[in-house]
């Protein structure tokens, strides 16, 4: 099969095109990609030509939520052998020589690269292709029997795992998730895994509310402000990335509670009901990507203790990428949308 990739050229210009076969460096393996999950950042590049401060300036292969099989092992002997099923940790941490950052939190390294990111020029090409060269430090061997489609959810699940972890131990505590998109659904799933006493999810659309309810969460219409403000949750995770969601998150937290800012807000000033946060002595804490959580997530997916049933709503072939991106952009019709690269 030809090596085809999903490439964004500009806002509104998404193409599926043939690319050269990968030419791996000595510390890189050639991975045959099985599945890739469409992330919000992928959507932003296609819709707006930018994801936050990362502005598209040249064609870029999208994708960082992927699973596959090692086709050719690294020449230097590092990493998994050929035939090993793998997931990918897409971060390469780098300092900028100026900004201090905690060395034990690589996700905060100020000049890092991420697969499928336009932050730097040249851009860091992504992994939405049938065959890609991947540094072996990024590869995580999968336990026997783990469905590769499920393994493609490991990266966003690690984002959710890290985000909830910012609030500390949630065992026996009440958790509310603002925004029932794929990340919000995964936060709710992780909260269940971590033995939260109760989990509630808010959203505007019936589909994500039904998905959350199917896995035991209380589903709440995001327009029901009185119910949300009466939740008095120990932990609230804001995953919508909207000013309205942030206001709802603060209103849902009990005095002394914690609000995790997981959804990426727009650049610049954002209106915040900060007086409420002050008088309730809320702890507001940010969350960016993830660090070392991927291994724990893979193990929990493999043993079934992390229930992500129903979060993947569509699997389309790579040749159907345009339709897949349209679906992923419509939360009333889809949850997590996967591309299958063998189709």
The pLDDT confidence band at residue 53, using thresholds 50, 70 and 90, is confident
Mean pLDDT of 319-334: 97
Q: Where do the CATH 3.90.180.10 domains begin and end in the chain?
A: 4-153+311-340
User: Would you state the pLDDT for residue 52?
Assistant: 85
Model confidence pTM above 0.85: yes
Q: What is the mean pLDDT of residues 285-292?
A: 96
Q: What percent of the chain has pLDDT over 90?
A: 98
222 pLDDT exceeds 90? yes
28, 74 Cβ separation under 8 angstroms = yes
Residue 11 pLDDT: 97
Q: What are phi and psi of 234, to 5 degrees?
A: -65, -40
CB-based burial label for 116 (10 Å; 0-12, 13-18, 19+)? buried
- Rounded-to-integer distance, Cα 190 and Cα 281, Å: 26
Domain at 163-286, CATH class: alpha beta
CB neighbour burial string for 97-115, b if at least 16 within 10 angstroms, e if fewer:
eeeebeeeebbbbeebebb
Q: What pLDDT is attached to residue 177?
A: 98
Average predicted confidence (pLDDT) for the chain = 97
Mean pLDDT of 200-214: 98
Tell which CATH classification among 3.30.1440.10, 3.30.450.370, 3.90.180.10, 3.40.50.1820 matches the domain 4-153+311-340: 3.90.180.10
- Taking residues 153-172, what's their average pLDDT? 98
Please report the pLDDT score of residue 311 as a whole number: 97
Q: What is the pLDDT of residue 293?
A: 97
The per-residue pLDDT for range 97-106, each reduced to its tens digit, is: 999 999 999 9
Helix, strand, or coil (residue 324): helix
pLDDT at 266 over 90: no
Prior bond of 122 cis (ω within 30°): yes
Instruction: Read off the pLDDT band of 117 (50, 70, 90).
Output: very high
The pLDDT value recorded for residue 312 is: 98
Residue 184: per-residue pLDDT: 98
70-76 average pLDDT score = 98
The H or E element that residue 165 is part of is helix 154-165
Kindly report, as residue ranges, where domains of CATH 3.40.50.720 are found in the chain. Answer: 163-286
Residue from 221, 282, 285 nearest 250 by CA: 282
């Amino acid at each position: 099969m030809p090596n085809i990739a999903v490439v964004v050229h500009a806002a509104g210009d998404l193409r599926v095109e043939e690319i050269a076969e990968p030419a791996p460096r000595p510390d890189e393996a050639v991975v045959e990609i099985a599945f890739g999950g469409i992330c919000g950042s992928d959507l932003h590049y296609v819709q707006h030509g930018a994801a936050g401060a990362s502005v598209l300036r040249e064609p870029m292969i999208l994708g960082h939520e992927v699973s596959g099989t090692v086709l050719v092992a690294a020449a230097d002997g590092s990493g998994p052998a050929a035939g090993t099923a793998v997931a990918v940790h897409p971060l390469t941490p780098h300092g900028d020589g100026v900004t201090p950052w905690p060395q034990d939190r690589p996700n905060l390294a100020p000049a890092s690269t991420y697969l499928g990111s336009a932050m730097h020029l040249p851009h860091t090409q992504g992994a939405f292709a049938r065959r890609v060269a991947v540094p072996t430090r990024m590869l995580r061997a999968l336990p026997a029997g783990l469905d590769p489609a499920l393994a493609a959810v490991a990266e966003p699940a690690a984002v959710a795992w890290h985000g909830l972890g910012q609030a500390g131990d949630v065992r026996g505590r009440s958790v509310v998730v603002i925004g029932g998109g794929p990340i919000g659904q995964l936060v709710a799933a992780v909260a269940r895994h971590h033995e939260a006493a109760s989990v509630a999810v808010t959203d505007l659309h019936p589909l994500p509310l039904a998905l959350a309810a199917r896995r035991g969460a209380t589903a709440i219409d995001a327009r029901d402000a009185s119910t949300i403000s009466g939740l008095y949750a120990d932990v609230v995770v804001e995953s919508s990335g909207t000013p309205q969601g942030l206001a709802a998150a603060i209103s849902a937290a009990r005095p002394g509670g914690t609000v995790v800012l997981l959804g990426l807000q727009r650049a610049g000033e954002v209106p915040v009901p900060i007086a409420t946060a002050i008088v309730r002595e809320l702890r507001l804490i940010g969350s960016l990507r993830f660090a070392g959580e991927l291994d724990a997530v893979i193990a929990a997916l493999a043993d079934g203790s992390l229930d992500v049933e129903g979060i993947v709503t569509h699997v389309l072939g790579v040749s159907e990428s345009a339709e897949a991106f349209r679906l992923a952009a419509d939360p009333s019709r889809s949850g997590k949308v996967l591309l299958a690269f063998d189709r």
